């Protein structure tokens, strides 16, 4: 502070002391949305077949309550009642034995929207929570015939689901997650058939042929889920 007279030196010293305090008081208020409450996870395991699922949680939205979004996909062999007769050449089992049907396969897409309840760390390092809410499923079963021709039977349904999740903390951000749950879907909606030549037909409840198709196609009703994966907390 060379060249300053004593009064200016005093003023300069006061400014140096008061500016940091004023800056701290003027810091912006915290936003109501915090990324530190956001979690993203990837799971693999069983849910009506081999399954993978991606989920996103937003915790502490209202106390221990949070929001959960999920998308999953599953696939498995089968998907049909082997004793069903679709009016071709006997039951599906008989057609498989004769070689007319070469494969049966089912797949599904699951979407979930619901709430979470965070229990925190009841055991140090182990976070637990419960979740539940609405479900929406899109289901497809394919019959493939000798020669490569096929017919898809597609449907969709609303449902509800409950589950629990336990996360073991590896770091402050990364966790190993175990997830178990059960979903329940309605099996009373229309079924759409589509073959490899793009011929389509819709079978609705109460119409002719619906009961036969509905019995033949094994649509998910109660879906048990056991999965393991990782979760990243922001």
Report how far residue 221's alpha carbon sits from residue 189's, in angstroms, rounded to the nearest whole number: 12
Nearest residue to 36 via CA among 230, 174, 173, 229:
173
Residue of 42, 154, 44, 43 lying closest to 108 (CA atoms): 154
Strands (E), the chain: 38-47, 50-62, 65-77, 101-123, 126-145, 150-169, 174-185, 191-195, 200-203, 222-233
Is the alpha carbon torsion for 186, 187, 188, 189 positive or negative? positive
d(CA 166, CA 232): 13
3-59 tens-digit pLDDT: 545 544 554 454 345 444 444 444 444 444 455 689 999 999 999 999 999 999 999
Domains of the chain: 38-233 (2.40.160.70)
Distance separating alpha carbons of residues 233 and 37, to the nearest angstrom: 7
Q: Judging by DSSP bridges, how do beta strands 126-145 and 101-123 pair with one another? A: antiparallel
Residue pLDDT, tens place only, 173-226: 999 999 999 999 998 899 999 999 999 999 999 888 899 899 899 999 999 999
């Amino acid at each position: 502070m060379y060249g300053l007279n004593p009064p200016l030196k005093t003023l300069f010293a006061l400014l140096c002391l008061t500016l940091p305090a004023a800056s701290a008081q003027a810091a912006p208020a915290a936003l109501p949305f915090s990324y530190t409450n956001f979690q993203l996870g990837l799971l693999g395991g069983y849910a009506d077949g081999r399954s993978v699922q991606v989920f996103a949680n937003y915790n502490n939205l209202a106390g221990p309550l949070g929001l959960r979004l999920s998308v999953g996909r599953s696939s498995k062999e089968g998907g049909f009642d082997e004793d069903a007769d679709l009016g071709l050449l006997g039951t599906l089992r008989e057609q498989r034995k004769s070689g007319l049907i070469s494969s049966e396969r089912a797949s599904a897409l699951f979407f979930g929207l619901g709430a979470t309840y965070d229990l925190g760390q009841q055991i140090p390092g182990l976070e637990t929570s419960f979740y539940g809410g609405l479900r929406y499923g899109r289901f497809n079963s394919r019959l493939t015939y000798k020669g490569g021709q096929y017919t898809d039977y597609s449907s969709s349904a609303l449902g509800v689901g409950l589950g629990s999740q336990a996360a073991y903390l590896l770091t402050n951000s990364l966790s190993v997650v175990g997830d178990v749950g059960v979903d329940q879907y309605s099996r009373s909606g229309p079924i759409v058939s589509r073959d490899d030549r793009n011929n389509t037909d819709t079978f609705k409840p109460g119409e002719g042929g619906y009961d036969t198709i509905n019995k033949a196609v094994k649509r998910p009703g109660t879906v048990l889920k056991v999965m393991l994966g990782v979760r990243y907390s922001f």
